[in-house]
Amino acid sequence: MAARWHARVLFGLLGLVLLGWLWPLLAGETLFWGLPALQFYPWRAYAFAELRAGRLPLWNPYNGGGAPLLANYQTAILYPPNWLHLILPDVVAMNLLAVAHIVWAAAGVWYFTGRLGMPGFGRAVSALAFSLSGYLIARLGSFPTVAAAAWLPWLFWAADRTREGGAGRVAGLALVAAMQLLAGHAQTTFYGLVGVAAYIVWTGAHVQRRERWKMWARVSGGLLLGVGLAAAQLLPTAELYARSARANGLHYDWTTNFSYTLERSLTLLAPNLYGTPADGSYLTGGAYFEDAAYMGVLPLVAALSVVGWWANRRATPEEGGRLRRDVPFWAGMAIVAFLIALGKNGFLFPLLYRYVPTFQAFQGPVRWLILFVLPVSLLAGTGVSYAWGCGSRRVFWNRLFLAGGCAMAVMGAIAECWLVPVDSPLQVMGRAVIGLGILSAGCAALALLRPIEKSSRRGSHWEIAVLVFIAADLFWAFRGLNPTVPAEFFAPRPVAADAPMLYMPQTLQQRLMYEEFFDFRDYRRAVDRWPELRAALLPNLNLLDRQPMVNNFEPLVTQTYAEAVSALEARYADDGLVVLGADEYVTQEPFGEQALVTGVLVSGLSLAICLALWGRDRVRAGNRLGASGQQQC
């Protein structure tokens, strides 16, 4: 019963925060900044328009002289939630799915922590910290990334259930793995599978050897079956990858683009220490959304407090159960993920790039932080349940932090008012310091006010206050990071049926994208100039208008296309938008149909196996129920 009211508070706060950020969506506006405009909306609007017309969207004829569409992994046409595009307007479906995956991520953490035996209060803290973290919210416009990340806690949940046996649970793990594979972001999915594999190895070390091998076999079988269920997507994508410019791996410099830094790690305490692109105050280079991993000051402090609780020998072995046992694993995963995320700025990623396959396949080591954010969120839930605000020394340390936080806020305010010039970069950092001081003092005050009796009414009110504090912190940190514009932005602007093929030189394309409109330092520029952006013919916005262009903005292009663009660049690099003659560009021949047919057959067979496993489990459950009834009679 207690967990139910925690769930109501959790999802109520989650809804309020999302509404506070995205209320313009209810007024008919739409997400658009960056990838929704340049990739996901045009791809999916065209693909599902083809499906509604009774045609299979294997090919996009309007970009790149023809380009794979279904095989384009991030289009995620076969991901079942995306089928909402078939019955709802594309803008509504896109926005609804973005919000729904944040809620789904919170639900996944809620159920997984329930299996771990975490109290309802801790479960709510973990779910808030993960689902509203910077990793998800700052990337909200990268729909496949958020969708794959939302399935990560569900993957842990399903794998943990499978270790207990049951054919139906193997089928359930396969279904969850397939959903994450179909969500459209291979990098996040791969990291998730690595994390789950490590977790199952850790869990197996605590059971008898015979049971350990059985558990590993069940989980491995479920994951492989999940790959089979997703084969209709994976095989066409594998064929595209084999033909792509990435087939031989990425160069080290390209792979290590978006590497984390120790200076950036300060944003784990103060997310806008270097400003925010939401209001144009972003001070440094790089992309804010790539480095964002803030989960709130209180969850981070609570996660750190777990170390002392775990090492406390005076605590009874039964206190915390599995949660206490798993502290070293979650802490170790967070540390390793952090070190890998440093990329070229650390020592671990260069070694892995050189000696371990797959590390040459993905760009952006900073994205390993997904395996930092989830473990720290879980440790935060454990911390508020057993460690933070508890213990004999809590009064001394929390009074010290309360005084320190207040002093930090006051000193920051004095510096901003009298010492720092107006509109100076130091003013941005000073405001972040003031915020950190206020949040630190708030954490210390809440820890001091923690009631001894957790089950009392005062205890319930205190827990609500903590959850509200975390939600308010995250709301304030990430406001404005997902700007909206009128839905008219995506309205088609038809061109003539015989419209000529256009080519935009790469220098011009890059300037329009990253300097004129999608400025990583100031999101407001694209919002204020959205009519100009819409008319600029940036790929893949041309797909909305059915205007053919050689340009194609996607991560996986064929080697043939890459060579054709190199030839065009040699001729038109310094020109503006070019109208090409029929003999000046290469039309790619469609491919992928055979791989799709093979994938559908493999997926169908895998689905039949899943249904058989599920049916076998139901039959066994029915037999046990019948035997129990006969025994009672």
Residue range 478-495, pLDDT digits in tens: 999 999 999 999 999 888
What is the token pair recorded at 209? 């050897």
**Which of 88, 109, 31 lies closest to 381, judged by CA?**
109
Residue 563 lies in a domain: yes
Query: Is residue 206 pLDDT above 90, yes or no?
Result: no
Give the pLDDT confidence score for residue 313 in this predicted structure. 55
Establish how many alpha carbons lie within 13 A of residue 555's alpha carbon, considering only the half-sphere containing its beta carbon: 20
461 pLDDT higher than 70? yes
Closest CA to 172 of 190, 187, 160, 188: 160
Identify the DSSP state of 29: E
| CA separation for the pair 467, 446 (Å, rounded) | 11
> pLDDT tens digits, residue range 398-440?
888 889 888 888 887 887 776 666 667 778 888 899 999 999 9
pLDDT of residue 506: 92
Q: What is the mean pLDDT of residues 527-537?
A: 94
**Cis omega (within 30 of 0) for bond into 345:** no
pLDDT score of 579: 93
Q: How far apart are CA 365 and CA 367, in angstroms?
A: 5
| Beta-carbon count within 10 A of 11 CB | 18
pTM of the predicted protein model? 0.94
Residue 50's pLDDT is what? 96
Mean pLDDT of 528-539: 94
Residue 557 in any domain: the answer is: yes
Give the model's pLDDT for residue 413. 84
Please report the pLDDT score of residue 315 as a whole number. Answer: 54
Residue 107 lies in a domain: no
Question: Other C-beta atoms within 10 Å of 90: how many?
Answer: 21
Of the chain, the percentage scoring pLDDT greater than 70 comes to 94
Asked if pLDDT for residue 633 goes beyond 50, the answer is: no
* Single-letter amino acid code for the residue at 149: A
Q: What is the pLDDT of residue 455?
A: 65
C-alpha span between 621 and 626 (Å, rounded): 9
Q: What is the mean pLDDT of residues 554-570?
A: 90
pLDDT tens, residue by residue, 32-76: 999 999 999 999 999 999 999 999 999 999 999 999 999 999 999
pLDDT at 164 over 50: yes
The helix/strand/coil state of 486 is: strand
Domain count, the chain: 1
Report percent pLDDT > 90 for the chain. 69
Please choose, from the candidates 101, 51, 42, 60, the residue with its C-alpha nearest in 3D space to the C-alpha of residue 78: 51
In this predicted model, which residue has the larger pLDDT, 200 or 585?
200
The confidence band for 621, taking pLDDT boundaries of 50, 70 and 90, is low
CA distance 580 to 193: 45
Note the pLDDT tens digit of each residue in 115-132. 999 999 999 999 999 999
Asked if the structure places residue 514 within a domain, the reply is: yes
Look at residue 101 and tell me whether its pLDDT is greater than 90.
Answer: yes
- Determine the pLDDT at residue 200: 93
Q: Determine the pLDDT at residue 616.
A: 80
When pLDDT is averaged across residues 203-220 and rounded to a whole number, the result is 86
Q: CB count, 10 Å around CB of 576?
A: 8
Q: Is residue 183 part of a domain?
A: no
Higher local confidence (pLDDT), 134 or 283: 134
575 in a structural domain = yes
Those residues whose C-beta lies under 8 Å from the C-beta of residue 154, and which sit 6 or more positions away, are: 104, 108, 111, 112, 176, 179, 180
Q: What is the pLDDT of residue 624?
A: 59
The per-residue pLDDT of the chain, averaged, comes to 90
For residue 254, the model assigns a pLDDT of 86
Rg (alpha carbons) of the chain, rounded to whole number: 26
Task: Work out the average pLDDT over 362-381.
Answer: 95
Which of 141-150, 342-351, 404-413, 551-560 is the least confident region?
404-413
Question: At residue 103, does pLDDT exceed 50?
Answer: yes
Is 515 inside any structural domain? yes
Q: How far is CA 485 from the centre of its chain?
A: 23
Domain containing 505 equals: 500-580
In a domain, 524, yes or no: yes
Beta bridge partners of 485: 30
